[in-house]
Structures are given as structure tokens and as C-alpha cells.
Amino acid sequence: MLTSITDGILCCLSGKTSNLVLPLESSEPSDGFEFVEVKPGRVLRVRHIKPVRQCIETKKQDAEKNTKNVDCDAKGDAPPEDSRDNDDDDAGTSVHCKRKITVYRNGQLVIENLGDVLHSEILQCQDGDLEPCSTVEVELADYKETPSSPDPNPVPTVPLPSGDQKPAPPPRRRRRKPKRTVLIDSTRVISSCKGTHSDVALFFVHGVGGSLDIWSSQLNFFSRLGYEVIAPDLAGHGASTAPQIAAAYTFYALAEDLRAIFKRYARKRNILIGHSYGVSFCTFLAHEYPDLVHKVVMINGGGPTALEPSLCSIFQLPSCVLHCLSPCLAWSFLKAGFARQGAKEKQLLKQGNAFNVSPFVLRAMMSGQYWPEGDEVYHAELTVPILLVHGMCDKFVPVEEDQRMAEILLFAFLKVIEEGSHMVMMECPDTVNTLLHEFFLWEPDMSKKGEADNTVSVCDSINTLKIKKPVDK
């Protein structure tokens, strides 16, 4: 701590900020690490693990196709339809997503689900059993004569004596003029994403102060299952370059970096997994590329509110002051980010290279969280299936924010991990890996359809997402 304070004083006297974020020497320099230049002089470290099984499967498929073609040529027939470069990976359930989003001038938001998808959420009890909740509607059709729900504070009525006339009907409410109306009408194909599918890629995005190393358990787990995984270090984090200009760390600058990474590694079906601030970037990509993003996982990402930096935050202090306070900030992050603060958690923090950023980068990241477009309407427009994972002991993000997110999203499942905190993927890796894998394999149940129009309802099919709690070893 004395060294940190001394460096901070020298930093204040010299007027320069020390850059603590430099390319790090990795213990596995050749294990899937790449350096991608997203812009001139702006280089991001990316861990990209492409399973070897794809080459093996390609050779096997080519051999099978050649055998079928030889047999067909010998018989003088054309090859069958299912052998003409068709893949079973495209099979899935087609769901009609239709909703009307109305914003009124008083800030009220009314969402009407008109398609196949009905909003629902999944909660897991402490004993591990699934408890499907009833359908949650933010607010249904505007101004009906019959209220959809009873009034929580009903006005007592005085009974009239017999023979008197019936009371006059209540006055009609004046119809308000909407400020903005958004209509969504699309069809989405939802299918199971297995590690053997060559058109599936998993993208992992960390948050402020993190690095791709916080996903080590998830990257190793899913790469062993045959998934192609991609995890970048944000600018100024991990082993990526750290520009000494605040504009390099705004939301839009970082979002363009991730857009370049996504376009470089994207497959036909992509699953985005974000943590904390990284959830906002996943939301941005899912909104920008609805046909390429197949599913999204949001881990402790907070509510569906527009990002805006806090003017009264400690991170608004000068960088040299933050440099002096860095040991206290690291201790505070350890206490708030983990449910327990033991030697194991300290080691996880060190191994994950978390909160190892320069004060300048930390200050610029916190000040650059300005994204006014990412409001409730923006999130309500998403039609991609989303899994919300929340650590119950999280001191940064309250569970009410994720519950609000589950209400706004069209197609969301909420999972609360009782023993987890903000860094739940590091604290409970087995539980998180199991949750994510079951969500990747989930698809709507085709066996249950509407009798009238053969539609598929999420409320009828959520039981197919069976979350199994791993047995402690």
C-alpha cells in the first residue's frame, strides 16, 4: 500500500498517469490466444478455441458423401435431398414473436404480447425442483372496460335501498395520446445448440475491471464439449492495448470493438454471454444482428435502464487519487463481488486478472458508460431467448433489477443462485456451466401446440429446460 501511495504522489507531481495495463505474459501463450487489431493501434487479445473435431467431422462427412455419390452414380440416380449439403443444425421450432410497445408522455410503458410467445420466468427452489411461475404481464391492452386485475385499494360501495335506480356508470377515461409506438412482428427459429454443431459459436464478454481470464472455467468446460469459444479482453483490460485517451473507453467505442470481433468470428448461430457491463454489449449486438444472435445469457447485468455515469461517484476523482486508493478499491471489490472473502476468493481474483486495470482506464470506463438508447423499449424489442443468471448475494446489482429485466424482455428465464454473488461464474462454476449448457440445448417443445392455430407457447414448453444442480465432488 505504501508503494501505491508513493506512486500516486509522484503521479500527481509529474502530472502523468501510470499505465498498469500492458500485454501480460500468459502461462499458455499458444493455447488459442490471438491479437486482433480492431482499429489502427488498437489491439485486443482474444482467446479463440476452435475444436479439432470440426476437421474430423468434415473428413467423415466428405467420405460419406463420396460413398453416397458413387452409389448413386452406379445406379444412375440423383443423390438424395438430405445429402446435398443440408445439415440438421437448421432444424428448430418456429415461434411467432409479435408485440406492441407503447410509450406515453407521462413515462408509462405498456407492452402487449400478441404473438405465440407469452412472458414467463423460471425460478429454482432451494431443493433444486423447477417451479414455473404464472404468466407475468407488464400491462395488457389499454383501457378496457373490465379491469384485468382487481384494484389493490378498492373504494367501498354503499348498498342502495331496494327500488332505487342503479348508479350511473363510471365516467370514461380520456384516452391518452401515445408518445411513441413500436410494433414487432417477426418469426424466430429456436433450436438446440450442441457442441457437435459446426455453425455454433459462443462469445464471452466481461465487464469493468475484468478480463477474459474470469471465464476460464466456462471456456475450458465448453471447449471440451466441442463448442467454438471466443472471449476478448476489452481495451485497457487484460493483455489488450490501453490507449491514454478517455474517448477510447466510451460505450460506443467499446461496442464498435466488439462489433469487429463479432463480425470476425461469428458463425450462423451465435450465443452471447455477458457479465455486468458486458451484458450491455451483448444486448447491443443482439439488437444489431437479430438473425445471427441465437441466444443470450445475462449474468448480473442489472435492469433495462439506459446507461448514464454517476456524477457523484468515487471514480470521478483524479486518476492519481484513484491510484493511491487502488488497494482500498481492490479490497472493496473483493468484499462486494464475492459472497465469501477467503483465501480461495483472493486467489480467484488474482487468477482471473480481475480489477487489475490502471486508474486512468477505470475512471474512463466508469465515466464513459453513457448509452441513452439502451432503455426499456430497446430491451423490449429483443426477440432472442435470454437466460438471466443472478447471484443472490450480489452487492452491486440487486435482484429486483434482474426481475424487472425479466418482466420487460419478451422471451426470458430468470435463475437465481443463492450461494453466488457478483462474480458467480467464478464462485460457482459448475452450477453456472450446467445452467448455460442446459439453456444452449433448450428448444420449445413441439409436442404441445395450441388447438386453434397450432402455435407454440413458451409457457407450455418451459418445462423442457431442466436445470440440474451438480453434485459436489
pLDDT, tens digit, 9 for 90 and up, residues 254-266: 999 999 999 999 9
Question: What does 8-48 look like in DSSP terms, one character per residue?
Answer: HHHHHHHT-----------SSTTSSEEEEEEETTEEEEEEE
**Residue 394 among the catalytic residues:** yes
Residue 79 pLDDT exceeds 60: no
What was the pLDDT predicted at 347?
Answer: 84
Q: What is the DSSP letter of 432?
A: H
Instruction: List, for residues 450-461, the tens digit of each pLDDT value.
Output: 433 433 334 333
User: Strands of 269-275's sheet, edge to edge?
Assistant: 33-39, 42-49, 228-232, 200-205, 269-275, 293-299, 386-391, 412-417
Who has greater pLDDT, 71 or 338? 338
Cell of 196: 457437435
Residue 371 pLDDT exceeds 80: yes
Residue 204 pLDDT exceeds 70: yes
What does the CA dihedral 9, 14, 20, 21 come to, rounded to 10 degrees?
150
What was the pLDDT predicted at 118?
Answer: 52
Cell of 97: 414473436
Residue 298 pLDDT exceeds 50: yes
- d(C-alpha 292, C-alpha 269), whole Å: 6
pLDDT category of residue 358 using cuts at 50, 70 and 90: confident
pLDDT category of residue 23 using cuts at 50, 70 and 90: very low
What was the pLDDT predicted at 105?
Answer: 84
- d(C-alpha 154, C-alpha 363), whole Å: 51
272: enclosing H helix or E strand: strand 269-275
Cell of 282: 451483448
Extended strands (E) in 412-471 = 412-417
- The one catalytic residue in 237, 275, 422, 437 is 422
Buried b (16+ CB within 10 A) or exposed e, 330-358: beebbeebbbeeeeebeebbeebbbbbbb
- d(C-alpha 114, C-alpha 99), whole Å: 5
Report which of 358, 359, 331, 357 is spatially closest to residue 345, judged by C-alpha positions: 331
Residue 296 pLDDT exceeds 60: yes
pLDDT category of residue 319 using cuts at 50, 70 and 90: low
Mean pLDDT confidence for 30-48? 91
- Percent pLDDT > 70 in the chain is 63
Q: Are 232 and 261 in contact (CB under 8 A)?
A: yes
Strands 412-417 and 130-132: unpaired
- Length of the chain as a residue count: 473
**Residue 437 among the catalytic residues:** no
Mean pLDDT confidence for 265-278? 97
Mean pLDDT confidence for 71-96? 52
φ/ψ of residue 175, rounded to 5: -70, 125
Report which of 323, 230, 244 is spatially closest to residue 273, judged by C-alpha positions: 230
Beta bridge partners, 230, equal 48, 203
Who has greater pLDDT, 89 or 314? 314
Mean pLDDT confidence for 141-153? 37
Q: Are 372 and 384 in contact (CB under 8 A)?
A: no
Residue 29 pLDDT exceeds 60: no
What was the pLDDT predicted at 345?
Answer: 82
Report which of 331, 438, 349 is spatially closest to residue 385, judged by C-alpha positions: 438
Report which of 209, 231, 211 is spatially closest to residue 220, judged by C-alpha positions: 231
Residues 6+ apart with CB under 8 A from 405: 298, 301, 302, 303, 304, 379, 388, 412
- The one catalytic residue in 89, 116, 257, 394 is 394
Most confident range (mean pLDDT) of 59-73, 176-190, 218-232 is 218-232
- d(C-alpha 7, C-alpha 239), whole Å: 22
Buried b (16+ CB within 10 A) or exposed e, 262-284: beebbbebbbbbbbbbbbbbbbb
What was the pLDDT predicted at 324?
Answer: 72
- d(C-alpha 131, C-alpha 434), whole Å: 18
Place of cell 407492452: 111
Q: Are 240 and 261 in contact (CB under 8 A)?
A: no
Who has greater pLDDT, 445 or 455? 445
- d(C-alpha 19, C-alpha 4), whole Å: 13
- d(C-alpha 416, C-alpha 273), whole Å: 16
- The one catalytic residue in 198, 211, 223, 276 is 276
Mean pLDDT computed over every residue of the chain:
75
Looking at 22-176, list the stretches that DSSP marks H as alpha helix, in order from N- to C-terminal side: 53-75
What was the pLDDT predicted at 322?
Answer: 61
- d(C-alpha 262, C-alpha 67), whole Å: 37
Measured CA to CA in angstroms, residue 427 lies from 22, 123, 340, 353, 432 at distances of 27, 20, 9, 15, 9
Mean pLDDT confidence for 181-193? 92
Q: Give the distance between the most distant pair of CA atoms in the chain.
A: 96
At residue 293, the 3 state secondary structure works out as strand
Question: Residue 182 burial (CB < 10 Å; 0-12/13-18/19+)?
Answer: middle
Measured CA to CA in angstroms, residue 13 lies from 16, 321, 324, 359 at distances of 8, 12, 13, 16
- d(C-alpha 329, C-alpha 1), whole Å: 12
